[in-house]
Amino acid sequence: MSSVTATTKPRRTDLDPRPDLAEDHRWWAAVLSLAWHRDRELWGLLHSLRCGGARLELRRGRDGRDFFKLDYTPLLGTWEESELRSQWLEPHREAMRELFHMAPAFVHVVEAELAAMARRAG
């Protein structure tokens, strides 16, 4: 059981533990923020994947809407791909799919919140 409650506000590191990977930092902040509020188990998985260097790619679907695709290849130096997929990714496939389709629309909202957090901290 996580010691984090549903009402706890996320810290900056909860929204992206790897801000050094700047190319997709704001995308991860949106994904992890949504997961934080919707599904803490999924948040924990995605947070762990990001800690290991997982990346997000922005794609456009046939319907013209943007979505994120997970690139877990940076983890394959440590993880066996079949184990990563079967034990960690597949059980959360639908939840990740839904989240990755929702998140692009929230990137600007999360960016504003991150800016507000920085102002309060500094």
Residues 49 and 99: beta-carbon distance below 8 Å: no
How much is the mean pLDDT over the chain? Answer: 90
Q: Which residue has the higher pLDDT, 11 or 60?
A: 60
The closest of 81, 84, 80, 5 to 43, measured between CA atoms, is: 5
- Summarised one tens digit per residue, pLDDT across range 26-42 is 999 999 999 999 999 99
The closest of 49, 8, 52 to 100, measured between CA atoms, is: 49
Cα angle: 99, vertex 102, 108; to 5 degrees: 120
pLDDT for residue 10 is more than 90: no
- Summarised one tens digit per residue, pLDDT across range 80-118 is 999 999 999 999 999 999 999 999 999 888 778 778 877
What pTM was computed for the model? 0.85
Across residues 47-70, what is the average pLDDT?
A: 96
The residue written with tokens 């389709």 in the block is: 101
pLDDT computed for residue 35 by the predictor: 96
pLDDT for residue 5 is more than 80: no
**Residue 77 CA to chain centroid, in angstroms?**
20
